[in-house]
Structure formats: C-alpha cells, structure tokens
Chain A
Amino acid sequence: ETGVTQSPTHLIKTRGQQVTLRCSSQSGHNTVSWYQQALGQGPQFIFQYYREEENGRGNFPPRFSGLQFPNYSSELNVNALELDDSALYLCASSFSGGTLKTQYFGPGTRLLVL
C-alpha cells in the first residue's frame, strides 16, 4: 500500500461529457503527477502539479486540465470526452525536496467512454 488513493475506481461516460478524477497523495508528499495508460501500453505522462502550479506537461490537449489543493490532493479534469480517452488514469505522488523524488502510484481510475 502506497497511501495514494484515487476515486472513483471505475467510471463510464459518453462522448462529449466532462469528467473529474481525484487523487489523494501520500502523507508528506507535495507533488502529484498524472498518467494515462491505454490498454496494452505503458503509462503516458499528462502533467505534474507542485505547490498548486502545473510543473510540467506531456503531449495532451488543453481539454485535459488539473488542480492541486493546499492539502496536496489533486484533480484531473477532462472536457469533451472522446472515445480514445478510455484508459486507466494513474496518479503518483512524490516529495519535491529531497535528493530523490520517487513516484508512488495509486490504484488508478478506469474510464470508459461510450
């Protein structure tokens, strides 16, 4: 158990809808990274949040957005859902302050877009 939690565990949406996924980071961690994992592929980096600011972004369109709250929890929002957004969404927490910033993952949210 990493102490990183995500909600919901599963979600079904239809094309064009909007979705919000949530992540609570491990105690003592101040950074959250989000990844998208399509079936049979490795995770792809979406973005990272540190001190409530976006701290790096992967090759994802602006309809993927996020937030980080003062307690370091985070949200991933996806607008105008497309069929290809169906995937496992992973959040990872880490501590930006030490020498190493190992990322620890939550169980993921599986999103199905119909």
Chain B
Amino acid sequence: DAKTTQPTSMDCAEGRAANLPCNHSTISGNEYVYWYRQIHSQGPQYIIHGLKNNETNEMASLIITEDRKSSTLILPHATLRDTAVYYCIAFNAGNNRKLIWGLGTSLAVNP
C-alpha cells in the first residue's frame, strides 16, 4: 500500500477555495486516491475518490496529476464547518482490506 504525504496544517478564509495537496509518488496502478475528513474526533467522513480522472461531487473536487504521483482536494467555497483534519489515502479498493492513515492535514477555516 502506497504511503501519502500531506502538509501538517493549512489555513483558509471563509468563502475562498481550500486546496489541499497530497503526494503519493509510490501509488500503484490499482490503488485509488481516497479523501476522508474528521471533525472534532467524530468518525471519519468519506469525501471523494478517484483513480486517474478528475472527479467532482457535491462536497469537493479531486484533481489527480497525469502521472498519479500527487493530487489536490478542492473545497470550492470553504465554510467554518469545513474545519477538520483531512486525510488522503491510497487504497486498493479491489482487495477491500485496510485503509492506511497518516496524520492528515488540519485545515482551519477562518472567518
């Protein structure tokens, strides 16, 4: 399972886009990039995932570089409720085993 590297913390102004980077240079071809977030030690919340193509849903957009060695999660209009720890995970969804978590990025959205 590939390891991911994320900045420890980031700040964002309310209403602006939050761009959270993730490096996964050793990702293998069958590993998806998954993003979760965790608010105040609640259970992690699934945000989005992708394999090669960029993805968008009602919560966020995921931009994956062509070589798949890095990705960026974009929250288009951050709100105070988006303050959380964001985790980027390379997950072999096909074998449905464990998610390997790093320390994530602590995002603070400021008024």
Binding site for B on A (CB under 8 A): 2, 4, 6, 31, 33, 35, 37, 41-45, 48, 50, 55-56, 58, 88, 90, 92, 94, 96, 99-108, 110
Binding site for A on B (CB under 8 A): 32, 34, 36, 41-46, 49, 87, 93-94, 96-104
CA distance A105 to B101 in the complex (A): 14
CA distance A99 to B46 in the complex (A): 17
> Judging by beta carbons under 8 Å apart, are B42 and A108 in contact?
yes
Given A4-B43, A90-B43, A105-B45, residue A100 in contact with residue B98 (CB < 8 A): no
CA distance A108 to B44 in the complex (A): 9
CA distance A58 to B97 in the complex (A): 10
CA distance A63 to B110 in the complex (A): 44
> Judging by beta carbons under 8 Å apart, are B102 and A104 in contact?
no
CA distance A101 to B42 in the complex (A): 21
Beyond A92-B44, A92-B99, 13 additional contacts (C-beta under 8 Å) are A2-B43, A2-B45, A2-B46, A6-B43, A33-B99, A37-B41, A42-B87, A45-B100, A56-B97, A99-B94, A103-B99, A104-B46, A108-B42
CA distance A25 to B47 in the complex (A): 19
> Judging by beta carbons under 8 Å apart, are A108 and B43 in contact?
yes
CA distance A42 to B93 in the complex (A): 19
Name the CB-closest residue of A to B41. Answer: A88
Chain A nearest CB from B85 CB (Å) reads 8
> Judging by beta carbons under 8 Å apart, are A90 and B44 in contact?
yes
CA distance A44 to B43 in the complex (A): 13
Residues of chain A within 8 A of B97, CB atoms compared: 45, 48, 55-56
Chain B nearest CB from A59 CB (Å) reads 10
Name the CB-closest residue of B to A110. Answer: B41
What are 28 A-B residue pairs whose CB atoms fall within 8 Å in the complex? A2-B43, A2-B45, A2-B46, A31-B96, A33-B98, A35-B99, A42-B102, A43-B44, A44-B101, A45-B99, A48-B96, A90-B43, A92-B99, A96-B96, A99-B94, A100-B93, A101-B93, A101-B94, A101-B96, A102-B34, A102-B46, A103-B46, A103-B99, A104-B46, A105-B36, A106-B43, A107-B42, A108-B43
